[in-house]
Amino acid sequence: MQLPIYLDYAATTPVDPRVARAMSECLTIESNFGNPASRSHQFGWKAEEAVENARRNVADLLNCDPREIVWTSGATEADNLALKGAAHFYHKKGKHIITSKIEHKAVLDSCRQLEREGFEVTYLDPDSDGLISPETVEQALRPDTILVSLMHVNNEIGVVNDIGAIGEVTRKHKVIFHVDAAQSAGKLDIDLEKMQVDLLSLTAHKLYGPKGIGALYVRRKPRVRIEPQIHGGGHERGMRSGTLPTHQIVGMGEAYRIAREEMREEARRTLALRDRMLRGLEDIEEVYVNGDLKLRSPGNLNISFNFVEGESLMMALRELALSSGSACTSASLEPSYVLRAIGRNDELAHSSLRISIGRFTTEEDIDYAIEKIHYAVAKLRELSPLWDMYKEGVDLDQVQWAAH
């Protein structure tokens, strides 16, 4: 077993060795280094072929047409392109956009920008499990709604929205539906023949591909239009200019090809490890799982240890690489907005850990982590005045705290 143990696969994943090998073949003078846009020689043709193979691999995982895949620098750019691109194209139809309070910042901050440009945005409240229902979406629709943007899997709590059902609502009302699938592609089934999703953001680095590459799916039937946000040589059918990074794209293609072959087995394996982790932790007193446990991405566990602060907990767990919803781990000193939006109080938000499990996690890793977490929680509760008070039967909500 190698220390520290990586349990932060929702933040990023290591590149699969098979992916790294494919990428390394697109860099040097002996290999496929050409500019895919070079039409006049075989270096360009060969690079273009590699890019188009990768495009097909991405499209195959999602059951869509390769021509519907637009390369971007990652999911953040894809989200920006989807929201601003669709809003700018369809603004004459209306200026209302619907999203949720627990979206990724790439979506929320793009919405803020669109508000500054005169669009109006409705931020839906998720239920206490973290989910947005199709009914909630339908009720928020207005005659001037042009776009709904919701994530498939939440990055913090791993809960899964029913994008198939939500897509039926948006299609019925002829509203564009954008889905951020950064956390779900290659982990959950996405069938774009069946799901009525119009725009879908993808990334490589959450799926054992390299950082710095992603894609936006843009539906052709019925045709969805977007205004480009980056102008230049007219690459990607004019939707996203910029020389295509062959090695990055080949890496993403290989990662998605592997995912298509192995995702079922991998989902089974990571779910078993997740359940092993949960079983090992749920005997600790005052432990709360955040978000629905059934409708959840297989490798995610988000769990709060009441009366223990998340950053100090991570400090005690320096042999484990994971993340926390604690304010102290963020630049803003605000606890997780996702946990707050699902109704968790600040204390539980401060006390949360996100454990995310992936391809290279072993049972040994999980068992070691369980033991360490038990020890750390006990140690910090020994130090915690709140734990004392809880044990004495003091209702902490009734105490007059001097907020600072």
Partner 1 sequence: MAYSDKVLDHYENPRNVGRLDDDDANVGTGMVGAPACGDVMRLQIKVDGDGVIEDAKFKTYGCGSAIASSSLLTEWVKGRSLDDATQIRNKDIADELGLPPVKIHCSVLAEDAIKAAIADVRKKQGNTEDQT
Q: Which of the residues are catalytic?
A: 328
Tell me how far, at minimum, the Cβ of 351 lies from partner 1, in Å: 9
Residue 269 tokens, joined: 């394996």
Does 402 bind partner 1 (CB under 8 A)? Our answer is: yes
Burial class (CB in 10 A: 0-12, 13-18, 19+), 107: buried
Does 308 bind partner 1 (CB under 8 A)? Our answer is: yes
Does 108 bind partner 1 (CB under 8 A)? Our answer is: no
Q: Which residues contact 316 (CB under 8 A, 6 or more apart)?
A: 372, 375, 376, 379, 380
Binding mask 330-349 for partner 1 (x = CB under 8 A): -x-x-x---------xxx--
Q: Which one of 67-75, 100-108, 239-247, 329-337 is the stretch in contact with partner 1 (CB under 8 A)? A: 329-337
* Cross-strand partners of 120: 96
Residue closer to partner 1 by CB (options 41, 391) is 391
DSSP code for 350: H
Residue 367 tokens, joined: 């068992």
Does 398 bind partner 1 (CB under 8 A)? Our answer is: no
Distance in angstroms (rounded) separating the CA atoms of residues 180 and 141 = 19
Give the ranges where 31-162 is alpha helix by DSSP (H): 42-62, 75-90, 105-116, 134-140
Q: Which of residues 13-32 bind partner 1 (CB under 8 A)?
A: none
Q: Which residues contact 119 (CB under 8 A, 6 or more apart)?
A: 87, 91, 95, 96, 97, 111
Q: Considering only residues 118, 143, 385, 393, which one is a binding residue for partner 1 as defined by CB under 8 A?
A: 385
Tell me how far, at minimum, the Cβ of 373 lies from partner 1, in Å: 16
Tell me how far, at minimum, the Cβ of 404 lies from partner 1, in Å: 6
Q: Considering only residues 315, 362, 364, 391, which one is a binding residue for partner 1 as defined by CB under 8 A?
A: 315
Does 178 bind partner 1 (CB under 8 A)? Our answer is: no
Distance in angstroms (rounded) separating the CA atoms of residues 119 and 147 = 11
**How far is it between the farthest Cα atoms of the chain?**
79
Residue closer to partner 1 by CB (options 293, 386) is 386
Residue closer to partner 1 by CB (options 229, 384) is 384
Does 37 bind partner 1 (CB under 8 A)? Our answer is: no
Distance in angstroms (rounded) separating the CA atoms of residues 46 and 316 = 51
Strand intervals (E) in 95-195: 96-100, 120-124, 145-151, 176-180
Does 95 bind partner 1 (CB under 8 A)? Our answer is: no
Does 382 bind partner 1 (CB under 8 A)? Our answer is: yes
Does 309 bind partner 1 (CB under 8 A)? Our answer is: yes
Q: Which one of 114-122, 123-131, 243-251, 322-330 is the stretch in contact with partner 1 (CB under 8 A)? A: 322-330
Applying CB under 8 A, the residues found at the interface with partner 1 are 307-309, 311-312, 315, 326-328, 331, 333, 335, 345-347, 350, 382-388, 396, 401-404
